[in-house]
Amino acid sequence: MRGATVGGSGAINGGYFCRGLPSDFDRASIPGWAWSDVLEHFRAIETDLDFETPVHGRSGPIPVRRTHEMTGITESFMAAAEDAGFAWIADLNDVGPEMPSGVGAVPLNIVNGVRTSSAVGYLMPALGRPNLTLLARTRAVRLRFSATTAVGVDAIGPGGPVSLSADRIVLCAGAIQSAHLLMLSGVGEEEVLRSAGVKVLMALPVGMGCSDHPEWVMPTNWAVAVDRPVLEVLLSTHDGIEIRPYTGGFVAMTGDGTAGHRDWPHIGVALMQPRARGRITLVSSDPQIPVRIEHRYDSEPADVAALRQGSALAHELCGAATRIGPAVWATSQHLCGSAPMGTDDDPRAVVDPRCRVRGIENLWVIDGSVLPSITSRGPHATIVMLGHRAPEFVQ
């Protein structure tokens, strides 16, 4: 499921707005992207309505609040977690450098039933600027180059083809679509591009090491909680498991996107630092043909073992009163790292520490594509932070 709307997938997701952990940034060792570099930008994007501690912002465009009056489902889960020895984590966005073990309320960018996406917080207030034009219902299909300098974008809108020219081009179409655009335009793995009939402009490992949070989803006999956040609390463990007692599904957020299926309650067990890496590959030079996405979740036995242990813990916490169905492989829909950031000596890097596509002039990627590895929390807040910080590089 992806958001084909202004604001992208962040406009339709579960509202989960947890920051990446300090260790996610410090471990990557990319100049300018240590935790000490990015904290001020995490603060700048938010107005935290629950905490006034130094790590939180008070004047950012995105309000953040946690649920205080929980559903019965959530309360039962919290009580079981406490009985099992898991501590309460007051603020999941201020937990120290590593993944904590405990249960806490999920920071949400949904307040009083109203979501503030990056589009609402940043784009809409700027629409009156004379140097900004929003082309709705328009899809970029290919970049144009003069030698190795990006000079424009070809797109298709309601009235047909559109040709746009610019001296600076920024891709922020998301980890899947930005990679797709690069490959359609001749930037990617040589063998992949040639097999799809695309002339190679710049050989870079686009899509070759993406990652996601694999999730085992198990149906339950809980009652669906309508008009509530889909996730009020989460439980994390030191070994990187996140257990999510969903109050419902995403039907209310996707309209007809579930083909008329009813909402259904479930519990999710996600692995937040997986070893497995996937691939996004181009299969056709036709922009209307989707890329091939290979998650390869089960390619690392250690990942499968960790999810199995997490599933056993979820069963234990839910107890005999809850009927839990068999687990199925699912995606947390957090795919990232399809055009990872890195230094010049990193063979995996597609963009440099200033988000510039290597070997190409006037082209940047600023979205979840550039994360060098997946964060230990859902990446939404981290991607908004990235969008706040990176514009200083586009010069």
Q: List, by residue number, the catalytic residues.
A: 334
Helix (H, G, I), strand (E, B) or coil at 103: strand
Query: What are residue 293's DSSP bridge partners?
Result: 280
Rg (CA), the chain: 21
What single string gives the DSSP state of each residue in 338-357? SS-B--TT-TT-SB-TTSBB
CA-closest candidate to residue 153, choices 168, 141, 161: 141
Strand extents, DSSP E, the chain: 46-48, 62-64, 88-89, 102-105, 110-111, 114-115, 139-146, 149-157, 160-165, 169-171, 187-188, 202-203, 214-219, 233-236, 241-246, 266-271, 279-281, 292-294, 328-331, 363-365
The pairing of beta strand 187-188 with beta strand 202-203: parallel
CA distance 188 to 206: 5
- The set of residues, in sequence order, having a beta carbon less than 8 Å from that of 345 and lying 6+ positions away, is none
For residues 167-194, b (16+ Cβ closer than 10 Å) or e, as one string? eebbbbbbbbbbbbbbbbbbbbbeebbe
Q: Are 182 and 171 a contacting pair, CB within 8 Å? A: yes
The Cβ of residue 217 has, within 10 Å, a number of other Cβ atoms equal to: 21
What whole-number distance in Å separates Cα of residue 15 and Cα of residue 172? Answer: 20
Tokens of 148: 């190795």
Query: What's at 315, amino acid-wise?
Result: H
| List of residues 6+ apart from 58 with CB closer than 8 A | 47, 48, 52
Contacts (Cβ under 8 Å, ≥6 apart) of 181: 140, 141, 142, 143, 171, 173
CA–CA distance, 206 with 339 (Å, rounded to integer): 5
Separation of alpha carbons 186 and 239, rounded Å: 40
Tokens of 100: 């904590």
